[in-house]
Amino acid sequence: MRRRLRSAAFPLHRHSLPQLVVDAALVALAYWLAFVVRFEDEGISKHYRGLLLDTLPWVVAGTVVILALSRVYQRRWRYVSARDVVHVVRAVVVAAVFVVVFIALVHPYTYTEYISYFGDPHRIPRPLALALPVSIAVMFPALAIVLLVGARFLARAINDRRIPGLRAPLDGRSVLIVGAGQGGRLVCQELVRNGDLGLHPVGFVDDDPLKQRLRYDGVRVRGTTKDLPHLLDDAEPDEVIIAIPSAPGELRMRVVSACRDRAIPVRTQGSVDVARTVREVRVEDVLGREPVHMPFARVGGYLRGKVVLVTGAGGSVGSELCRQISRAGPERLVLVDHAEDNMFRILRELSEDLHVPDSVLAPVLADCKEEERMREVMSEERPAVVFHAAAYKHVGLLERNSVEAIRNNAIATRVVATVAGQLELDAFVLVSTDKAVMPATVMGASKALAECAVDAAQRRFPATRYMTVRFGNVLGSSGSVVPIFRRQIAAGGPVTVTHPEMTRYFMTIPESVALVIRAASLGHGGEVFVLDMGEPVSIMELARRMIELSGLEPELDIAIEVIGPRPGEKLHEELFNPFERRRRTEAEKIWLAERDPMDIERAEAIFDEVSLLVLEADAAGLAEKVAELNDLRAPAPMVLESP
């Protein structure tokens, strides 16, 4: 505390002393030059030389003190900015006024002149005061400003290595920056100033015609992205940085394609911070679809002040649900998960990174398959909205564990939905998947059963609004192909693809969760909402892109191996069943899968039989019952509204 008070009283530190000494010398030089320029023709007379020497120490001391009190020494010269220049100018103007007043009133310069009257040979001494000439009072601050500001920018230029002869040897990696806007200029400044990064910019690329051939921080805008192939051949950069945070996927793909042909790695800047935010290009940057951005106040505002429960809170989707819901300001966020490590991880993130108060968070270790435990939790917390995201999702693993897949994905959903209805909670939202559409795998069948369980619960418990939100693969989730490809590439290959013609829908976790939360505000009960996933992506093309983005050549550096589809795996996933009709909703990117209600009594009977087969671990019998449940809905021609 004493150190802080001392610093506030006299704003200097040890790094300021060399700056203060240089400033004192420059102030003295400016004061002397003002006299030299004023008396250039006749030279400085004896009396004015005395005025200069007598007042010089006071002028230097007073000016330096005023500069220090103006806090111009709190920043090193290598980081000087326009704001620092304003502080220097203001301080020098004040110092100039101080000098004039000080010399006139406090420390006037006097000299003795001897005169005689009427031819009297005896001369009489007479003291005279010498005022500071107005021209010097004007020239001194002007010269001081030029010298002080010039010294600072010279120091910054030397530090930034912009002066020929003082420029550090360019032994680092050369960088071409795509984007000469604010983000690009910040990246350039950081690269130029921070030699420890080992990167030096060789040019900008920007599509704005007004920026062509301009220079920013000494780096020229070389051309547009249409000229990129020629620019890459001409500049031969070691890497390219995309510094346009909002760059569309088409532009990113054009840059990546041009760099890929020349084996030049590409990185992108995630925000307009500084170059430290530069990261490797992620595959979602080049999927050819713009991310969905929705104002969160419109997305999750209805959750403010409510108790919200999320099952599977430690999973990929569940944890993102918790992050986004916590931003809405719920009264209480109940996190349910049966995995202790996942629960600990998301709880710590919410508390320490997102600063959610502990009083808002209610972590619950529980298994959704246990009805009494779920009733105990929901009765105690009384959530207004339940987001059921707990599910197994690894297709291949669930094929070998079909009974547990049905138990965890279908039976558990029925348990949680039933308890929510019995307690007459306001809303229940099931997070589903496109694999539930015309299911051909155990995982898909289990989620189709879960959708049927929610549909049946709506008929049994009309006081609760039940909704299902269905979407495709989410990038980066534990079951996604993307992290698998990343591990295979890091290991040197091969990258395994089940079929060269296989396609899948992809969406990032944050945008899919935002749409799930938004969809939950649209439902009145019984709806199945489907997220608009854009165009399906070829898995073979995805594998090739990821290899290329790693700076490698498909088939040459990393082999791609076609291993054949797994049992029940479809080449193309669908988002709507044949018996469903796609309808618009008031929300962008969210569709309604309209369908006729199923025979509720028959559905309940089949579900009871499924529960018994699960207890008996009868996989073959489960397959028959799942098929029978799907047949309860009469297929109808699919009616599509044009997007």
Judged against a pLDDT cut of 90, whether residue 559 lies above it is answered with no
| Architecture of the domain made up of 173-281 | 3-Layer(aba) Sandwich (3.40)
Judged against a pLDDT cut of 80, whether residue 278 lies above it is answered with no
Please state which of the ranges 70-84, 284-298, 534-548 shows the lowest mean pLDDT: 284-298
Instruction: Report pTM.
Output: 0.58
* Separation of alpha carbons 74 and 223, rounded Å: 40
What DSSP string runs through 74-87?
SS-GGG--HHHHHH
Q: Cα torsion at 218, 219, 224, 228 (round to 10°)?
A: 160
User: Confidence class of residue 632 from pLDDT cuts 50, 70 and 90?
Assistant: low
* Separation of alpha carbons 144 and 140, rounded Å: 6
* Separation of alpha carbons 499 and 391, rounded Å: 26
Average pLDDT, integer, range 332-342: 94
Average pLDDT, integer, range 421-447: 89
Average pLDDT, integer, range 543-571: 80
Structure tokens at 227: 């000229």
Q: Please report the pLDDT score of residue 334 as a whole number.
A: 97
| Single-letter code of the amino acid located at 30 | A
Axis crossing angle, helix 316-327 with helix 509-520, rounded to the nearest 10: 60
149 against 160, higher pLDDT: 149
| 3-state helix/strand/coil string of 340-373 | HHHHHHHHHHHHHHCCCCCCCEEEEECCCCCHHH
Q: Please report the pLDDT score of residue 160 as a whole number.
A: 60
Q: Please report the pLDDT score of residue 265 as a whole number.
A: 81
CB 409 within 8 A of CB 443: yes
312: which DSSP letter?
T
> Cα-atom radius of gyration of the chain, to the nearest Å?
37
Closest CA to 391 of 368, 421, 420, 366: 368
Interval 372-405: pLDDT, tens: 999 999 999 999 999 999 999 888 788 888 888 8
Q: Where do the domains of the chain lie?
A: 2-160, 173-281, 384-630
Interval 477-500: pLDDT, tens: 666 777 788 888 877 778 899 888
Cis peptide before 494 (omega within 30 of 0): yes
Q: Please report the pLDDT score of residue 631 as a whole number.
A: 64
User: Confidence class of residue 427 from pLDDT cuts 50, 70 and 90?
Assistant: very high
Percentage with pLDDT > 90 across the chain: 21
Judged against a pLDDT cut of 70, whether residue 432 lies above it is answered with yes
State the chain's mean pLDDT as an integer. Answer: 80
- Return the CATH number of 384-630, one of 3.40.50.720, 3.40.50.10800, 3.40.640.10, 3.20.20.100: 3.40.50.720
Interval 206-262: pLDDT, tens: 988 888 888 887 788 999 988 898 898 888 888 888 888 767 767 777 888 788 777
Average pLDDT, integer, range 3-16: 49
